[in-house]
Amino acid sequence: MLALVTGAARGIGRAIVLELARNKIDVAINYNSSSEAAKLLSSEVEKLGVKTGIFQANVSDRDQVLKLFADVKKLFGESIAILVNNAGITRDNLLMRMKPEDWHDVINSNLNSVFYCTKEAIRDMAKAKFGRIISISSVVGLVGNSGQANYAASKAGIIAFTKSVAREYASRGITANVVAPGFIETNMTQVLKDDVKSGILQSVPVGRIGSPEDVARAVMFFANECNSYVTGQVLAVDGGMTM
């Protein structure tokens, strides 16, 4: 079985790739600019005894997505059975200060990429009558966040898009689900000041920052071949923050 993970070179994407590989699933690693990190990840995956390959593509560009899928199929000789839409960016600012390009960049990277990749993957999944589509949203897409109107809109859009896809393709053996991470330890959160982190942790009942591996295990639950009766769902991996 073959999986494609977008934005996979670092952070949550990296953890997802390794979790899939540990479960003996071949993985195509997509990255945009982190080529060295992608190469290192690929070597780790190979040690786990599964097939892998790295593919550079900006998944907010439809033409690059088409080439990405063609290249993956050419290298592995099979279609993608598991798609993990993980690529995304932030361009935070208060609404009155937000530039139109910051809005469009986030929507393109976070939401349009999910549309392009899912649309391309679903053709072969429908033919095979099997598919697992897992998209990474955020708790911000559930509750909003000050200074992140663009990010929240993109992540909420992923949820609504996924529910629609789940309804359209449930009869074809395809499930579509969402993982919505809360406060997760990544390069983006490491730059936050200690007092900011402490303030956030006060809203997390389990009292700790989540790890990329916490998110990866949730993705693996949805990716599992046995979980054919779970679709259109949103799983918040947030330590109870949004309960």
Beta bridge partners of residue 176, listed in sequence order? 133
Q: How far apart are the first and last CA of the chain?
A: 34
Catalytic status, residue 116 = no
Set 31, 116, 151, 169: catalytic member: 151
Alpha-carbon distance 37 to 31, whole Å? 9
Q: Which residues of 158-184 are buried (b: 16+ CB within 10 A; e: fewer)?
A: bbebbbebbeebeeeebbbbbbbbbbb
Residues classed as catalytic: 151
